[in-house]
């Protein structure tokens, strides 16, 4: 059945293209003034070009607006627990390892040596939050744990022979 549909579709399209070619061939004998046509299409092009730029601007601004760059997931009304995270070859220095369900947490992530990746995994080992841990820079990442359990912290950036040893844990109650 699919084959027949594909065949009929391509045959129809082929006929359509042949018809367009035929029409152009027939019309090519006709003599027309060139200038008005050029003017008309330049105008049209300007119109559609401007329209397209405006449309793209609107779409870009509208979609970028929604990105949560530097925006905590909780409202401004709620105070976050601030936790300093320092990555180093090969381990983590993390201020606090226990959190409450629903408690807004702001991780401030940096590195003592090279680039690392701070990744938080839930109990099914799904990555639920991550940011880069970079020397001389502090990345903020906002997290509100919604389920109690044990969460793994793993390094997401290959940082040397002990990369796989960079593990830590959060307990959420
Ligand atoms: Cu730190 Cu990989």
Distinct helix (H) and strand (E) counts, the chain: 2, 9
39 pLDDT band (50/70/90 cuts)?
A: confident
CA 117 – ligand 1 centroid, Å = 6
> What's the pLDDT score for residue 66?
66
Phi, psi (degrees; rounded to nearest 5) at 140: -95, 140
Burial class for 53, CB neighbours closer than 10 Å (0-12, 13-18, 19+): exposed
165 lines ligand 1 (CB under 6 A): no
Q: Considering only 34-48, 93-107, 113-127, 141-155, which range has the smallest mean pLDDT?
A: 34-48
CA 159 – ligand 1 centroid, Å = 4
The strand pair at 91-94 and 116-121 is best described as unpaired
Taking the CA of residue 159 as reference, the ligand 1 atom at the shortest distance is 2
* Of 74 and 32, the one with more pLDDT: 32
Q: Across the beta sheet with 127-133, what order do the strands follow?
A: 98-99, 167-172, 149-155, 116-121, 127-133
Instruction: Give 108-142 pLDDT, tens digit per residue.
Output: 999 999 999 999 999 999 999 999 999 999 999 98
> What's the pLDDT score for residue 78?
72
CA 155 – ligand 1 centroid, Å = 4
Q: State yes or no: pLDDT of 31 exceeds 80.
A: no
Tokens 């367009």 appear where? 20
Radius of gyration of the chain (CA): 30
Contact present, 148 and 117 (Cβ < 8 Å): no
H or E segment and range at residue 1: none
| CA-proximal residue: ligand 1, atom 1 (nearest) | 116
CA 45 – ligand 1 centroid, Å = 53
86 lines ligand 1 (CB under 6 A): no
Taking the CA of residue 160 as reference, the ligand 1 atom at the shortest distance is 2
> What's the pLDDT score for residue 13?
95
Q: What is the mean pLDDT of residues 59-67?
A: 81
Contact present, 137 and 67 (Cβ < 8 Å): no
Question: What predicted TM-score, i.e. pTM, was given to this entire model?
Answer: 0.59
Instruction: Give 80-103 pLDDT, tens digit per residue.
Output: 899 999 999 999 999 999 999 988
> What's the pLDDT score for residue 71?
61
């Amino acid at each position: 059945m699919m084959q027949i549909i594909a065949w009929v579709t391509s045959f129809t399209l082929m006929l359509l293209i042949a018809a367009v070619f035929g029409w152009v061939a027939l019309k090519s004998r006709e003599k027309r003034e060139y200038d008005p046509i050029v003017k008309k299409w330049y105008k049209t092009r300007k119109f559609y070009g401007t329209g397209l730029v405006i449309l793209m601007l609107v779409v870009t601004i509208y979609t970028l607006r929604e990105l949560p760059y530097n925006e905590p997931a909780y409202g401004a009304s709620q105070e976050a627990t601030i936790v300093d995270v320092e990555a180093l070859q090969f381990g983590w220095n993390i201020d606090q390892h226990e959190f409450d369900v629903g408690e807004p947490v702001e991780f401030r992530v940096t590195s003592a040596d090279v680039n690392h990746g701070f990744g938080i995994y839930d109990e099914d080992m799904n990555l639920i939050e991550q940011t880069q841990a970079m020397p001389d820079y502090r990345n903020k990442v906002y997290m509100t744990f919604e389920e109690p359990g044990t969460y793994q912290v793993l390094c997401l950036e290959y940082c040397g022979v002990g990369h796989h040893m960079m593990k830590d844990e959060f307990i959420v109650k």
